Amino acid sequence: MKKFKFLVKFGLLKRVGRKSFLIANLVIMILSIAIINLPSIIALFGNDSDQLTDITIEVSEEIGLGSLADDLSTKFNEGLPAPFYLVSSINPGDVDVDAFWADEEVDILVTFTGSTEEPVIEIYSKYPEMNGNFINQIELQLISYQLGGAYERPEFQTILAPDYEDPEAGMMIGSISSLLILPLFILVTMATQFVGVDIIEEKSTKAIETIIASVPANTHFLSKIVAAIGFVLIQGGLILFYGLLASLVSKLFASAPAINLPQGQGSLLEYLAEILPNWPILLFMTLLFIVVGTLFYLVVAALFASMAVTQEDYQQFQSPLMLMLLGGFYIGIFAPMAGGEGFLRAMAFVPLFAPMVAPVAMAGGSMTILQGVIALIVMIAFLAVTVYFVSPVYKVAILNYDQTKFFKRIGDNFKKAFHTSKKK
């Protein structure tokens, strides 16, 4: 047990204690802060004069409604914390369209001619994208005049079918799922590199012969897995800290980027709790898939690293592992966008892709929590079978320096491992 602890501690400190680790994390921290606060950083170098602080509107009327400008100001600014639309009245004789277009202080000019019953309205606007809102509000105000002030806009309530799925909620869930997949992909990639580089360094310097002579191969194998998990926890904690630090930095900016939420939603967390009412179970299941999936990928990475002799050799052996990771990553991101719920559900039961696909399928409703539990059990069983077959192969391959072709080397190591096991 002491030797096992020593190997874990030595392997972990060998990576975490290096200057390259410190430099890499310094770069990651700076990039995290910069990327998260990119909109605010860009805004610092932007032109503040381009930002709208108010809209100035001039109203000219010839239909005998002296309070029209004040009434429109009230209606335009209804529900706003402070007046944004500054409405004023001008005499019809003072209307000069050419002067309006040249005047930078006035944004909208509205002229009313005709009568209250049959008004003719002309809108001169420097912001035509706002015209639709102005037309609706002006029309409601005129209807109120025509009815003697008794008109109240009706309140509409839309009743949807019980099985209706909000596309905006689906897009939000897809975005959240992508955010869950990306850190997992990055951390697993870093962990597999950790295992591979560590084993290759020992094997290329022949130090592995001394280590295996003093500890069993299975102990060495497990120590590499545990050290890699420790590295993932440390690096994951640091990345989480960088994210929190970036969010604190964003509060220093006067104009932090806002997230567009549906009406009635005060915060992003409230909105997520509404569209994902069972989020605690989903989060717990996601963490379980991450743990089991990381263990599986680390076992496979350790197997390939034990068969390699040089760093270049390991890159060749690592290709199948990276293809598995990329497969799960792309399925988890693009299958929901393409509407492939059946395909997503099927891939969630494939152990090679389940760690990344299953959480997305559960969050999107493609599979139930019960189906997720079944997929997790299948994943755990597959991990146990993988460890059972990998352990004897690792024991043989770690001291094997053959540099034959890829598939031949794999076949030879498996034959030697199980041929030796049968003899025993």
The pLDDT score that the predictor gives to residue 109 is: 93
Same domain as 93, residue 30? no
**Whether residues 132 and 174 fall in one domain:** no
Would residue 61 count as lying in a domain?
yes
Dist CA 250 CA 122 (whole Å): 44
Nearest of 1, 16, 33, 10 to residue 242 by alpha carbon: 33
Are 98 and 177 found together in one domain? no
Say yes or no: 314 and 204 in one domain. Answer: yes
Residue 50 has what pLDDT?
A: 58
> For 151, what's the count of Cα atoms within 13 Å in the CB-facing half-sphere?
12
Do 140 and 174 lie in a common domain? Answer: no
For residue 299, being part of any structural domain is answered with yes
Confidence of residue 203 (pLDDT cuts 50, 70, 90): confident
Q: Is 142 exposed, middle or buried (0-12, 13-18, 19+ CB in 10 A)?
A: buried
pLDDT of residue 51: 64
Q: Is residue 250 part of a domain?
A: yes
CA dihedral 145, 147, 148, 149 (to 10 degrees): -70
Pair (179, 33) in one structural domain: yes
Q: Which amino acid is at 216?
A: P
403 in the same domain as 282: yes
Q: Count how many domains the chain has.
A: 2
Report the pLDDT value the prediction gives residue 159, as an integer from 0 to 100. Answer: 73
Q: Give the CATH number, domain containing residue 120.
A: 3.40.190
Q: Which structural domain range is residue 137 located in?
A: 53-146
pLDDT in tens, 17-38: 788 888 988 998 898 888 877 7
Whether residue 224 sits in one domain with residue 142:
no
Q: Is residue 156 part of a domain?
A: no
Q: 152 lies in a domain? A: no
Confidence band, pLDDT 50/70/90 cuts, at residue 152: low
* Domain end marker among 146, 179, 195: 146
How big is the CA angle at 56 (ends 260 and 69), to the nearest 5 degrees?
110
Predicted TM-score of the model (pTM): 0.66
CB–CB of 121/110 below 8 Å?
A: yes
